[in-house]
Structure 1
Amino acid sequence: MKESGLASLAAAGIGATAGCLGGGGGSGPPTAEIGYIPITDASPLLAGYANDHFADHDVDVAEPTLFRGWADLAEAFLAGEVNVAHFLMPMTVWMRYGDQLSGDVNVVAWDHTDGSALTVRQEIDEWADLGGTTVAVPFWYSIHNVILQLGLREKGLTPRTDSSAGAVADDEVNLVVMPPPDMPAALANGSITGYIVAEPFNAIGELEAGGKILRFTGDIWRRHACCVVVMKEELVESQPEWTTDVMRGLVDAQQYIRENRSEAARLLSDAESGLLPQGPEPIDRALTHYANHDPYLESGAIQHEEWDVERIGFYPYPYQSYTEELVRRMRETRVEGEDAFLEDLDPSTVADDLVAYDPVRTALKDAGGPPAFDVSEDNGYERQETIRF
């Protein structure tokens, strides 16, 4: 299957009709069938299973199923093979409103905040050096592609999504979609000059592929969502109490990771549960290694130290302002394939329609509200988006 997924899912017959599958069909609560990509973005879902946070709220959960690429996970979700999954937030917009899919998709929580970076070869010292090169993104509809292209335009570079169009000019950057696990090796062998992706593949790029961080995405768009937790709308509406209990387990798992980062890294790594196939070192680096690391400040990978963010943060509530701004930014972002549907989307309507707020808001309140995550009550459910280079 082509990793961009822009036509292959529809060609496989996965679309609006799949919304009736995979959840809520019986009279009792379903088993949570979790699908995930092996990245730290999935940590709350995985810790919720491995550490029994879901079980603590009487949620029966099967062992999570790992998928190597986003298109494979999307196909499984839309076909009903999994009923709880994490997806790139822009993917959920495409899955629900794209002309080829129109899937039965609800965002029910943020899985995490930030947690991504642009990793490059050692000879790249600034964005301008990317001109004439190839950079990998994990999916066309990703916050990574949005932020990368925002930065390229800022630096006078033109993103190109058609790799068959001939030589790349010095003021162009060729973008290709690549599964995250393949990115460090591609960087090391020189087939790409950089990649922008979730952790721990930036940490792996630093530790094993001779790469370095050019910029953290959370230092450009403050506390942005990357991956979000998704269920079928049919399941959310037919099983509201079960959905809220899943959210309670997720919130507990996020709190556990925030308070026990190195322990969580080991729990999820191949040293213990093996839910993430990486070793403890890169996962721990992804969860802990940030503002206290002076070279990031000196190199410019971090330029807004005053934002007081982390390499990866955890907060479950899906801000409406973020969804609205994301839809606006997606209209400016080039993708391969048909994206005309974006022009017809009203950002406020998408924020109301795509996201189910009540279950996670109830779960967050039960856990102590926003202050339990060091977020003030005033900013816990509303905020203004900050995007700055």
Structure 2
Amino acid sequence: MSKQKWFAKLSVATLVSSALATSAFAAEPEKEDLKFGFIKLTDMAPLAVAKEKGFFEDEGLFVELEAQANWKVLLDRTITGELDGSHMLAGQPLGATIGYGTKAHIVTAFSMDLNGNGITVSNDVWKEMKKHIPMQADGKPVHPIKADALKPVVEKYADEGKPFNMGMVFPVSTHNYELRYWLAAGGIHPGYYAPHKGDTSGQIDAEALLSVTPPPQMPSTLEAGTIYGYCVGEPWNQQAVFKGIGVPVITDYEIWKNNPEKVFGVSKAWAEKYPETHKRVVKAMIRAAMWLDENDNANRPEAVKILSQSHYVGADYDVIANSMTGTFEYEKGDKRDVPDFNVFFRYNATYPFYSDAIWYLTQMRRWGQISEEKPDSWYMDVAKEVYRPDIYMAAAQELIKEGKAKASDFPALDEDGFKPPQKGFIDNIVYDGTQPNAYLNKFAIGLKGKTQL
């Protein structure tokens, strides 16, 4: 075990013991009436389920859930205290804490899900891509589809003097990093950020120009021809299929198997002021995640019914069910089994791993959002500032004591916060969260070492 991992292990175990000791004296939540924000995506499901199934009320909490206009508004309102906490992009607490964009210390003690995104292209782009994709005997494309098939299309647009525009949901979103990862693995440069020069476009040296589009507007923006493709969460890839305006070419499960997606974020000040309330929120959401995955996703049809309500996701039942119930439709009529497209509890999905945080930080460095080289220790320090497995494990231990969960449902108490080196990336590069700089050095496209723009 590395020295870095040993320190992580020691600190998590110590903090869990401290959190459990503190909770023994806190009989009631410090704040009972809460308002949480979310964006209309299916991966907000743990919040909706915790409310609709009474898990928040079981913890003495009375929660209002409120849809937000976009990710920036959601973050700003969480910082100001208008929202007690929010469904967040995994990169948002990290970006805010290191001062990329809005500067504020945000923490997360709960990872909301794994996977759940896809990359969709317009019908015209798909028609050109298909010329470069091997086909199965039944005439359907061989998956996963790599960006190698998109590269000649991008080059053709460049030759015609047309910029190849693509959409993603936010500069520190998983979608941005997944789209960039997929493009770069296929030899297409997605561009750099240079915040130290005042350039936050992310389009320096870009062959594909990525810009922000709010998730619900992705299909209409694609249909209008403003963008030629996008990376987004559900149900907005499946919506393109239903409307006949585009084709999802790959899921994020195929880009990075079982990648972390959203988190539940609160301000550090809020977490310190309401520790018992925070722990109870995590308890309720763990129960919701367990319910979503139990008995081989048997509850998913009920979850889809909840999510299809207008005050949650508000898309048609069939559109949401297309991915939430274990399938995914690519080209119209090409529906395939993807049982792990949405994972809410399996594979320790809800545990806030330090290695997950560090992966996001490496991508911020790779694409220039972090302007200069940082030592490995910096990545670990930031991860520990933002990710709070101690709070998570305190909540888990209470659920075990109450008979609502089993010890085997969770990582061991001495979990060090690092997954083993991870394979399952589309470019076959292995990620080890204890060696972020060595990981960055493996990429042909991207900043590394002392490289600066």
Q: Which digits, 9 at most, give the CA deviation of each residue in 1:283-334, with x for residues without a partner?
A: 111212437x7x68x98x99xx9xx861111121111111122211221125
Q: Does 1:360 find its partner at 2:407?
A: no
Match of 1:43 in 2: 45
Tell me the residue number matched to 1:89: 90
1:193-342 pair list within 5 angstroms: 193-258=228-293, 259=297, 260-270=299-309, 274-290=311-327, 310-314=340-344, 315-333=349-367, 339-340=370-371
> Which residue of the partner structure matches residue 147 of structure 1?
178
SS in 2 for 1:278: coil
User: Match for residue 434 of structure 2?
Assistant: none
What is the CA distance between 1:161 and its match in structure 2?
6.8
Amino acid at match of 1:149: R
Which structure has the larger Rg?
2
Could you tell me which residue of structure 2 aligns to residue 9 of structure 1? none
Mark the runs of 5 or more structure 1 residues left unpaired by the alignment: 1-26
| Structure 1, 152-161 or 53-62: larger mean CA deviation | 152-161
Scaled by the length of structure 1, the TM-score of the pair is 0.79
**Match of 2:113?**
112
Is the 8 Å Cα contact of residues 160 and 174 (structure 1) preserved in structure 2? yes
Cα gap change, 1:130/1:84 in structure 2, threshold over 3 Å: closer, same or farther? farther
Aligned to 1:73: 74
The answer to whether the Cα contact below 8 Å between 2:37 and 2:66 also exists between their aligned partners in 1 is yes
SS at match of 2:121: strand
Once residues 217 and 130 of structure 1 are traced to their aligned partners in structure 2, the CA distance between those partners, rounded to angstroms, is 21
Native 8 Å contact 1:370 1:377 kept in 2? no
Conservation of the 8 A alpha-carbon contact between 1:223 and 1:309: no
Runs of 5+ in structure 2 lacking a partner? 1-28, 130-148, 158-163, 194-198, 427-453
Give the Cα–Cα distance (whole angstroms) in 1 for the partners of residues 373 and 284 of structure 2.
34
CA-CA distance at 1:247 after TM superposition: 0.8
Tell me the residue number matched to 2:138: none
Q: Which residue of 1 aligns with 2:150?
A: 127
How many Å apart are 1:116 and its aligned residue?
0.4
Q: Provide the rounded CA distance (Å) in 2 between the counterparts of 1:111 and 1:105.
A: 16
Give the C-alpha shift of residue 377 in structure 1: 9.5
Q: State the alpha-carbon separation in 2 of the partners of residues 320 and 168 from structure 1.
A: 30
| Structure 1 residue ranges (4+ consecutive) displaced by more than 4 angstroms after TM superposition | 161-165, 341-345, 375-382
Q: Give the number of equivalent residue pairs.
A: 347
Question: What is the match of residue 449 of structure 2?
Answer: none
- CA positional deviation for 1:153: 1.6
Distance 2:101 2:188 in 1: 31
Contact preservation (8 Å) 2:116, 2:261: yes
- Deviations along 1:335-371, one digit per CA (max 9) or x if unpaired, are 6xxx437857821111211112122223334243574
Check whether the contact 2:325–2:339 (CA below 8 A) recurs between aligned residues: no
Query: CA shift at 1:190, angstroms?
Result: 2.1
Amino acid of the residue matched to residue 365 of structure 2? R
In the alignment, is the contact (CA less than 8 A) between 1:38 and 1:68 conserved in 2? Answer: no
After TM superposition, give the deviation of residue 215 of structure 1 in Å: 0.9
* Aligned-residue offset at 1:175: 0.8
**8 Å Cα contact 2:168/2:230 also seen in 1:** yes
Percent same amino acid among aligned pairs?
Answer: 21
In the other structure, the counterpart of 1:383 is 419
Q: Which moved more, 1:101-110 or 1:129-138?
A: 129-138
Compared CA separation, residues 289 and 134, structure 1 to 2 (3 A): farther
Q: CA RMSD in A?
A: 3.4
The alpha carbon displacement at 1:376 in A equals 9.4
The alpha-carbon deviation at position 148 of structure 1 amounts to 1.2
Distance 1:281 1:377 in 2: 41
> 1:346 is paired with a residue of what secondary structure?
helix
Closer/same/farther in 2, CA of residues 189 and 99 from structure 1, 3 Å limit: closer
**Deviation readout 1:249-299 (Å, 9 max, x if unpaired):** 1011112222411110011213xx6322212111111212437x7x68x98
CA distance in 2, matches of 1:322, 1:353: 13
SS at match of 1:136: strand
In the alignment, the residues of structure 2 paired with residue 87 and residue 151 of structure 1 have an alpha-carbon distance, to the nearest angstrom, of: 22
Question: How far 1:244 sits from its partner (Å)?
Answer: 1.3
Under a length normalisation based on structure 2, what TM-score does the superposition of the two structures give? Answer: 0.69
